[in-house]
Amino acid sequence: MPDAGSPMKAGLVGYQAGGKSSLFELLTGVKPDPSKTHVGQHGMAVVPDERFDGLVELFRPRKISPAKIELVDTPGLSRDRSEANAQRLGIIRESAVIVHVIGAYAGFNPLADARALDEELILADLQAVTNRIERLEKDAKKPRPDREELHTEREVLEPVAGWLGQGRPAREMSLTDRQHDAIRSFSLFTMKQQLLVINTSESAYDEELVAKLAALGTRVVVAPVGLELEVQALPEVDRDVFANELGLAGSSRKRLLRAIFEITDQILFFTANEQEVHAWTLKRGSTALDAAGSIHSDLARGFIRAEIMPVADLLRLGSEREVKAAGLHHVEGKDYEIQDGDELLVRFSV
C-alpha cells in the first residue's frame, strides 16, 4: 500500500501489441513516449467518484484534491525472449496492483496469453527468491557473526522457492509468519492484487472467453481501448454520436479506474469545506486515528475526537446543519472504524 498521502500505484503489463500503452493513454491522457519504451512511463489518473463531485458542487471550494492512481506503463513483454521479461517487470515491483492487458483480436490467443503472463510473474518471483537464497548461501560460508540468522532465513525461504518452482503463485501458499516477514521486502508480484483487462477491437466480445478468463481467478474487465481512444480524441460535441455509431454504451475509462481502485480493498473518506474538498484513500477496516494520521501526523498525535457524517446524507440534505438536525452526525473516538463515504472533521490539540 502507498504511504499516507501518496497515490496508489498500478503497473500495466502485457505482451507487445496487446494495447497496454493505448490503455495507459486512455486512463491518463498522456501519449506514450517512444523514448521511454524500454524504461516505462508514469502518468496520473483521478479516481472517479460521484460523492467527491457532489461535495465540490456543494462547497464550491478554492481547491479540490481528488484521489489519484499513479499508472506505470512497463515495456512490452516478449514472447520470444522470456529471459528479459523479469527485468522489464522489475519496474513495477512497488506497485500495489498489477493490470494485465490482453489483446483479444485477430492473431491473438487471449487465454494462452493470460496463462503465459501468470507464468512470467511466477518466474520473476522465483528469480527474486532464488537470488536471495544464493546470496545467503554465499554469505553463510564467511566467518561472520550472523551466520546462524542467514541459515535460518535460507531455510524459511526454500519452501517458498519450491512452491514457485512448481508454477504456483505465492498468494496460494499457506505462509507462516516468518515466511511473510522474509518475503516482504521482495514485493512479490504473485502476492499483489491483479486485474485482467481484455482489449477488444470492437464493442462486442466473446462472453464464453471472458468466463474462461475469469475462471483463472482474476477479476476481468472488457474494454475496446482503441475505439475509445478514437472517441476521446474527437471534439466533445461529436463524441456521443460517434460512440453510438460504434455501439459503445459508455466510456470504459471510469469503470476501469474504479475497478483498479476497488480491488485493493481501499475506501474513500472526505474532508470538505469552502477552502478545500479532499478525497483520501484508506485501507478498509482502518480507524479514525489511522485516518487522522493519513491527513497529517499532528492530527494523530494530538487526536481528541472525530466528527463524522455520511457524505450521502450531506448531499441529500444539502448542508451540515441539516445533517446534524436530522441526528445523522456522530462523534467518535480513535478506535471508530472509518466507513466508505464518511466525511471527517478531526478535533486535536498539540
Residue intervals in the chain for CATH 3.10.20.30: 285-348
* pLDDT value, residue 247: 67
Backbone phi, psi, residue 343, to 5°:
-100, 130
Q: Residue 246 to residues 27, 168, 249, 250: CA-CA distances in angstroms? A: 20, 41, 9, 11
Per the rule left: phi > 0, alpha: psi between -120 and 50, beta: everything else, 341 is left
Average pLDDT (30-39) is: 86
pLDDT tops 80 at residue 249: no
Q: Nearest to residue 223, comparing CAs of 193, 190, 195? A: 195
* pLDDT value, residue 236: 76
* pLDDT value, residue 187: 94
* pLDDT value, residue 154: 94
Q: How confident is the model at residue 243 (pLDDT cuts 50, 70, 90)?
A: confident
pTM of the model as a whole: 0.86
* pLDDT value, residue 184: 93
pLDDT tops 70 at residue 167: yes
* Amino acid letter, 156: V
State pLDDT tens for residues 48-69: 999 999 999 999 999 999 999 9
Q: Which helix (H) or strand (E) holds 279?
A: strand 276-283
Question: What percent of the chain shows pLDDT beyond 90?
Answer: 69
Contact 350, 298 (CB under 8 A): yes
- Rounded to whole angstroms, the Cα distance separating 240 from 106 reads 27
Name which residue leads in pLDDT, 286 or 254: 286
Average pLDDT, the chain: 91
Average pLDDT (194-217) is: 86
State pLDDT tens for residues 120-166: 999 999 999 999 999 999 998 888 888 899 999 999 999 999 999 99
- Rounded to whole angstroms, the Cα distance separating 253 from 207 reads 20
Write 87-92 long-range contacts (CB < 8 A, 24+).
Answer: 89/13, 89/120, 89/121, 89/124, 89/189, 90/124, 91/11, 91/39, 91/40, 92/9, 92/11, 92/13, 92/40
| CATH architecture of the domain with range 1-264 | 3-Layer(aba) Sandwich (3.40)
Residue intervals in the chain for CATH 3.40.50.300: 1-264
Average pLDDT (248-265) is: 85
Which residues pair with residue 306 across a beta bridge?
332, 346
Q: Nearest to residue 26, comparing CAs of 165, 223, 207? A: 223
Average pLDDT (159-181) is: 96
Q: Which of 1-10, 161-170, 271-280 has the lowest mean pLDDT?
A: 1-10
Question: What percent of the chain shows pLDDT beyond 70?
Answer: 96
Q: How confident is the model at residue 250 (pLDDT cuts 50, 70, 90)?
A: low
Q: How confident is the model at residue 1 (pLDDT cuts 50, 70, 90)?
A: very low
* pLDDT value, residue 80: 78
Name which residue leads in pLDDT, 78 or 272: 272
Q: How confident is the model at residue 174 (pLDDT cuts 50, 70, 90)?
A: very high
Average pLDDT (298-309) is: 97
Which residues pair with residue 276 across a beta bridge?
63
Fold for the domain defined by 285-348: Ubiquitin-like (UB roll) (3.10.20)
As given in the structure block, the three cell numbers for residue 280 are 483520501
* pLDDT value, residue 253: 87
